[in-house]
Amino acid sequence: MHIDRFVEKDVVITAVRGRLDSSTSPKLDEFMAVIPDGSSVLLLDFAELTYISSAGLRVVLKAAKLAKGSGVTLAICGLIPPVHEVFDVSGFSTLIPIHANRDAALATLG
């Protein structure tokens, strides 16, 4: 798994590439544990996320809870169909805004 972070239109984007499972999710968990100063919108770009298990969902929910508690918006974009299915079945699709891709997310959030 590889994580990149950058800012575009005042949105803090965290792009995750590869697999989010029990062995890799602690790295994202650590990354999402601190919300950068002054940010109001966090976007998880999962366009290049090829796999997610419940261990990955746990990290996403933790990040969403932290954001909510800090008055920050957290959104997700770019889910490939098998990953989107996991979000749907887990009841996350109604919990966290999911955008088709980064441009669509930035148009709404930025």
Partner 1 sequence: MIIAQLDLRLENDLAELEPLVRALDFFCETSALPEKVAHRLTMAVDELVNNAVDYGYPDRRAGQITVSIRHRGTQVEIELADDGNAFDPFTAPAPDLTSPIEDRRIGGLGVHLIRTLAAHFAYRRENGRNVVALAFTLDA
Q: Which residues of the chain form contacts with partner 1 (CB under 8 A)?
A: 19, 21-23, 51-55, 57-58, 61-62, 64-65, 68-69, 80-83, 85-86, 89-91, 95-96
**Cβ distance to partner 1 smaller for residue 8 or 82:** 82
Report the sign of the C-alpha dihedral through residues 66, 77, 89, 23, in that order.
negative
**Cβ distance to partner 1 smaller for residue 36 or 82:** 82
Distance from C-alpha of 103 to C-alpha of 14, rounded to nearest angstrom: 14
Q: In whole angstroms, how close is the CB of 64 to partner 1 at the nearest point?
A: 5
**β-pair partners for 6:** 13
Q: In whole angstroms, how close is the CB of 94 to partner 1 at the nearest point?
A: 8
Q: In whole angstroms, how close is the CB of 92 to partner 1 at the nearest point?
A: 9
